[in-house]
Amino acid sequence: MTLEAKNLTFRYPRRGTGPVLEGVSLTLRAGERVGLSAPSGRGKTTLCRLLAGWETPQAGQVLLDGAPLPRRGFCPVQLLWQHPEEAADPLLKLRTTLYEAGPVDPAVLEGLGVRDSWLERYPSELSGGELQRVCIARTLRPGLRFLLCDEASAMLDLVTQARLWRFLLDYGARKNLGLLVVSHNAALLERVCTRVLAWEDIAAPRRT
C-alpha cells in the first residue's frame, strides 16, 4: 500500500491570495514511519488535511495505491487533529462520538487506557489528553492503512506521550500501518520515525 501526494497545490477560498501549498509531493509506504518537521505556517496541517481527504487540492492528486481516496465510507487515511477539543462534537457524549461510525476494538481502548466512565461525559468534561486518546481510539479501525499524526501528542505530559507512542508503534507494526508524524519536536521524530523529512524535501522552492 502506498499513499502518494503528487504535485499538490492548494489555496483556501477567500483567504488571502497566494496558495498555501504549491508543488508538494510525498510518498508514504505501508509500515513506514515518516517524520515531517517545518517552521510554523508552511502548510503542514493543510497537507495533512489534503492527504486525509478533508480538502480537495486545486491541482495535483492524492492517490492511494494509484486510485483517488474513497469519497464515502471509512477513509483508510485518517488524520489525528492537533486540537482534540475540536475533533469531538461538544454536544455529544463521547460514547456516541466513539461508536458513531461503527464498533471499536476493546483491546484498543484498553491499550490506550480509555476508561469506560469517560464515555458518559461530554468533551468539555475531559482533559485534552483523555480526549485525544478517545479520538485516537475511534480512528484505529480495521480498514485503517495510514495514520497522520499532526502534533497528536503535543498536549500530553511526557509519561503519557511515551506510553501513547509505544502503543501506536506497536499497533502500527502489527497492522503494518504507514505513519506520518508531524511535529516540532526533533527528539520525538528521531525516536519514532524510520525517516525524517524537512519541508524542502517535499515542496518545490517557493517563488517569491
Partner 1 sequence: MTGNRRRSTLFLLILAGGLLLALALAGGLLDDRALTTDFSRKNLPPCPAYLFGTDWMGRDMLARTLTGLSLSLRVGALTAAASAAIALVLGTASAAFGGWVDALVSWLIHLVMGVPHILLIILVSLACGRGFWGVTAGVTLTHWPALARLVRGEVLQLKGAPWLRMSRRLGAPRGKILRNHILPHLLPQFLTGLILQFPHAILHEAGVTFLGFGLPPEQPAIGVILEESMSYLTTGRWWLALFPGLALVLVVVLFALAGERLRLLLSPASAQE
* Contact footprint for partner 1 (CB under 8 A): 52-54, 72-75, 78-79, 81, 83, 86-92, 96-97, 100-102, 135, 138-139, 141
CA–CA distance, 208 with 172 (Å, rounded to integer): 40
- Shortest separation between residue 101's beta carbon and partner 1, angstroms: 4
- Shortest separation between residue 107's beta carbon and partner 1, angstroms: 19
- Shortest separation between residue 79's beta carbon and partner 1, angstroms: 7
CA–CA distance, 109 with 155 (Å, rounded to integer): 19
Closer Cβ to partner 1, 65 or 200, answer by number: 65
Closer Cβ to partner 1, 76 or 111, answer by number: 76
- Shortest separation between residue 148's beta carbon and partner 1, angstroms: 11
CA–CA distance, 82 with 115 (Å, rounded to integer): 21
DSSP class of residue 145 equals -
Closer Cβ to partner 1, 142 or 205, answer by number: 142
Rg (CA), the chain: 17
Closer Cβ to partner 1, 18 or 102, answer by number: 102
- Shortest separation between residue 69's beta carbon and partner 1, angstroms: 9
DSSP class of residue 118 equals G
Contact between 129 and 156 under an 8 Å Cβ cutoff? The reply is yes
Closer Cβ to partner 1, 132 or 192, answer by number: 132
Task: Tell me which residue has cell 456516541.
Answer: 96
- From the centroid of its chain, how far is CA 144? 12
